[in-house]
Amino acid sequence: MDAKIKRGALPHTYIKVERGTAEAVQGGVIEETYLTIRANGYTVASMMCSPVDEEALALGFLYNEAIITTMDDVKSIEVDAECVNVLLHRRNIGLKRQMIMTSGCGAGVTFHQANASRYRVETGFTTTPDAILARMRDLQSAARLYNAVRGVHTALLGTEDAPLYSTEDVGRHNTVDKIAGKVVRDGVDVRNCILITSGRISSEMISKAHRLNIPVVASRTAPTSTAVELAEAWEICLVGYIRRNSMRVYTHPFRLRLDNGK
């Protein structure tokens, strides 16, 4: 592989057409691979993803599906070319089926539906719009694959003052699972954190943030109506359309120390 091509991308020569001229460019494309997650030998899920942070993706997926709650549940984890094998301390993992989904713009991979009646996030954390803008700049800087070849989503978890983790993947849902995996692996308390994502915030995305008890979720693009409804019920501040000096706050502006725009 060309030394200039980042892990998670593959070299590819393409023709750039601009102002009536054509030029061959030695560039790259984002890599998409098939990954199977197994727990105690049982195939939990198979998905298309970027071959980066596969261990974090598996841990985060198992956490978000409530198969594990901490690393104390994990006896061992092994990453092969197309599989992550997780051995748990308990035998029964409580699942009756597996799912196979693509990394596209559909519902992603999940076994349960979001439910607005679930608990609110357990934190009184507040921050400022300036902190949201700062973390978005951090996300843009951390998007090494996107900056190299495009075609990939990025997620970033940070405090009010600094970034903590960033992840990239062809699937926007996978980026949040990878964040969750790193949080679980390191035992980090994220109740005073901000989650920034490059992708649309769907009901599944906000549910993953809720599972982690993250009180502020923001994106450069839009939320769905169900995501707004769930964020309202769960007391999560949901922010969209972040630009250089602007954003849209859809729920709980008090977490940004705002009072309905007044």
Pairing status of strand 194-197 against strand 33-39:
unpaired
Q: What is the pLDDT of residues 11-47, one digit of tens each?
A: 989 888 998 899 998 888 999 999 999 999 999 999 9
Identify the pLDDT of residue 7: 82
Per-residue pLDDT reduced to its tens digit, 82-98: 999 999 998 877 665 54
- Residues 219 and 136: their CA atoms lie apart, in Å, by 8
**Comparing 205 with 113, which gets the higher pLDDT?**
205
Residue 89, pLDDT score? 93
Q: Helix (H) and strand (E) counts for the chain?
A: 6, 13
Q: Is 110 helix (H, G, I), strand (E, B) or coil?
A: coil
Residue 102 has pLDDT above 90, yes or no: no
- Contact between residue 227 and residue 246 where contact means Cβ atoms under 8 Å apart: no
Between the alpha carbon of residue 71 and those of residues 32, 85, 122, 256, the distances in Å are 28, 15, 21, 32
DSSP structure class, residue 259: S
> Which residue in 49, 83, 105, 237 is the catalytic one?
105
For the stretch 125-162, pLDDT in tens is 999 999 999 999 999 999 999 988 888 999 999 999 99
pLDDT, residue 93, reads: 76
Instruction: Indicate if 49 belongs to the active site.
Output: no
Q: How far is CA 127 from CA 41, 148, 229, in A?
A: 43, 32, 21
